[in-house]
Amino acid sequence: MCIGLDVDIDKIPKHLLKEEDPVFAFNKAIIDATHHLTVAYKPNLAFYEAQGIKGFQALRKTIDYLNENYPEIFTIADAKRGDIGNTSGMYAKAFFDDLKFDSVTVAPYMGKDSVEPFLKYENKHTILLALTSNEGAFDFQTKNVEGEELYKMVLKTSKNWVNGQNLMYVVGATKAEYLQQIREIIPESFLLVPGVGAQGGSLKEVCEYGMNRKVGLLINASRAVIYASEGEDFAEAAATAAKKLQQEMAGYL
C-alpha cells in the first residue's frame, strides 16, 4: 500500500487551521498514525504548488519528516514531469537532489531523452505513466499505434532506455482488466496503481491480474484514507481506513 498525500487545505479538519503550517500538521499526524500500515507515501505536487510558497514549505517539511523519522519508507513525488533533456535534468535535480524523494512520476510524451535524465539516478526510481486511471486515458493511450495500443508501445520502448529495466509504471486500477496484457510485456516491473477507492477501481481485480511472484504492486489510496474523517479523530480514522485496506490486501497475498 501507498498512501497518497493529496492534501487540499479546504478539506483538512478545521481545527488544524490554527496551526502554523496546517498542511504539514495534517501530514505529520497522518504519517504517525499510518506508517506501520504502508510501505510508501506519495505527495501529489499539484496540491502543494496550489498553495504557493506555503505549500512548498509544507512539502519540504513533509519529505524531511519522512526521511528523518521513517527512512525505510519509500517516497514518491507525484509530479508527472517531462521535458527536453537539460530541463528534465533540472526536474531530476529538484526531486532527487534537493527534495530527496526516492522516486518521481514522469510523463512519456516527449520520449527517451525526456526520461533518461531521471533514469540516470541509479539509486532512485523513475515511474513512467503507461495507462492512467482517468477517462482521458482513452483519448490517446489506448489508441492503436502501428498494431498495438500506445501504452503498450510506451512499455516496450521504454524498457530499452538507459536503466530502463529499473522503470516502474503507473497503471490505473480503473482499468484492471488491462493488467494481464501489461504483465505479459513487463512481468517483473513494479507498478504504481492509483484509482482504487474514490476513483472506483477494484482491489480484487488489480491483485488478480497484476500481481507477480514478488507482488510487484504498489496500490495507492489517497482520499479514502486521508479524508476518512473531517473531525479531530482524522488521524485515527485514517489509520482505521488504512488498516482495513491493508487487511484486504493481505487477504490477496
Catalog residues that contact a copy of itself under the rule CB under 8 A: 6, 8, 44, 46-47, 49-53, 56-57, 60, 78, 80-85, 87-88, 90-91, 93-94, 97-99, 107-115, 129, 132-141, 143-146, 150, 153-154, 157, 194, 199
Q: Cα–Cα distances in Å, from 143 out to 131, 135, 138?
A: 11, 13, 7
Q: How far is the CB of 122 from a copy of itself (least distance, A)?
A: 19
Residue with smaller CB distance to a copy of itself, 35 or 118: 118
Residue with smaller CB distance to a copy of itself, 155 or 237: 155
Residue with smaller CB distance to a copy of itself, 154 or 239: 154
How many helices (H) does the chain have, and how many strands (E)?
Answer: 10, 10
Q: Is 28 a catalytic residue?
A: no
Q: How far is the CB of 124 from a copy of itself (least distance, A)?
A: 15
H-type alpha helices, the chain: 22-34, 45-49, 52-69, 85-92, 112-119, 150-158, 179-185, 203-210, 223-226, 234-252
- Given 11, 18, 42, 80, the catalytic residue: 80
Q: Cβ distance 232 to 26 under 8 Å?
A: no
Residues in the chain: 253
Q: What is the dihedral of CA 236, 240, 241, 244, to 10 degrees?
A: 170
Find cell 479546504 and name the residue.
10
Residue with smaller CB distance to a copy of itself, 123 or 160: 160
| CA-wise closest residue to 109 among 81, 90, 142 | 81
Residues annotated as part of the active site: 80
